[in-house]
Amino acid sequence: MADFGDILMDFNAKSKKESNLEKLKQDVKSLKRKRDAMLDREIKIRNDLNSGTVQNAATYRLPLAVLPPQNLSQRQVLPSEAEVQRLKNIARIKQKLQAHALCHGVTSLRGENNETKFIFDPYVGGKPFGPFVLRMRFIRTQAVLRGHNLPHAVPTRSLYTEYFEDVENHSEQLAPFIRSVAKHLRAFLSRKQQCDQLRQRFAEDIREFQAANHCTAISFSLCLKDEDNEEQIIVSIDMIYDRDEERPKPETLKVTFDPPHMSDDDRQAVKEQCMVFYSMRLTEAVIAAF
């Protein structure tokens, strides 16, 4: 007769074997369901790619039923109050940086070889320009200019020398230097845009047009008609701009007339009307003055 202890041992071994076999069956069923789900997802992705209707990545996520349960040790630990406050501060700083980028068109990021890239994306007249990139490397307290793709109208090298030459701590001069570069860039793009718009708007009325030295010396002639005797009058306008300004320098506007036999009152009236060039864009100034 078999020993009772041996019977219990056999029963326990049989129970474990059946339990392991049942667990193995469940694992096989789970793997089959996961395989079917992955095949369905693969077919959906392929069809969407072929039809050009790719959706958000969350759409192709596997069902939770086929994913392995997450262990308690793998669950995400809730952040502390200090960490939450730190995340809030980071979010506020990012919002300020985004607002600064929208208002001034300047952002910065860390590039390769320990270089910092300053990216200029100015909006002029409601139109975006750029991106223009200026690369710098910071070695201790020194800022080294590495390169840029700014227009030649922006005196980048001269500005760098002006702000950083004979200065020990470059960090204090960095912000004024970037602001000056951004101002020169915007001023040039604005002057060029104004010239292009003026020539396009008054293509039939402009006789001569010149924009020299990166649009800092602008001159053009307009053909006007006298409503009383239908006589044509040529008005020539000359203006000088600073390289970092969008409007002419004070007292540089010159107005001449052809024929020159206009009355003094008419001359003075036209010159007073042309004062709008100091405060308005070229096209709007011409419309307001004439």
Q: Nearest CA to 270 among 229, 222, 230?
A: 222
pLDDT, average across residues 184-194: 96
Q: 247 is written with which tokens? A: 């409007």
Binned at pLDDT 50, 70 and 90, residue 216 comes out as very high
Contact 245, 261 (CB under 8 A): no
- Listed ranges 64-73, 107-116, 174-183; the one with the highest mean pLDDT: 174-183
Lowest mean pLDDT among 136-140, 155-159, 197-201, 216-220: 136-140
Q: 220 is written with which tokens? A: 């053009």
Binned at pLDDT 50, 70 and 90, residue 76 comes out as low
pLDDT, average across residues 234-262: 90
Binned at pLDDT 50, 70 and 90, residue 185 comes out as very high
pLDDT, average across residues 42-63: 80
Binned at pLDDT 50, 70 and 90, residue 71 comes out as low
pLDDT, average across residues 187-203: 94
pLDDT, average across residues 66-87: 73
Does the pLDDT of residue 72 top 50, yes or no? no
Does the pLDDT of residue 281 top 50, yes or no? yes
Tell me which of 75 and 116 has the higher pLDDT.
116
Binned at pLDDT 50, 70 and 90, residue 120 comes out as very high
How confident is the model at residue 57, as a pLDDT?
A: 77
pLDDT, average across residues 64-90: 75
**Which single residue is written with the structure tokens 């992955």?**
38
Q: Which long-range contacts (CB under 8 A, 24 or more apart) does 273-280 make?
A: 274/237, 277/237, 277/239, 277/247, 277/248, 277/253, 278/247, 278/248, 278/250, 278/253, 279/247
E-strand stretches of the chain = 106-110, 115-120, 123-124, 127-128, 132-139, 142-148, 206-212, 217-225, 232-240, 254-258
Question: With pLDDT > 70 as the criterion, what percentage of the chain qualifies?
Answer: 92
pLDDT, average across residues 9-25: 83
Contact 216, 243 (CB under 8 A): yes
Does the pLDDT of residue 186 top 70, yes or no? yes
Cα distance between residue 252 and residue 243, in whole Å? 14
How confident is the model at residue 214, as a pLDDT?
A: 93
Q: What is the mean pLDDT of the chain?
A: 85
Binned at pLDDT 50, 70 and 90, residue 229 comes out as low
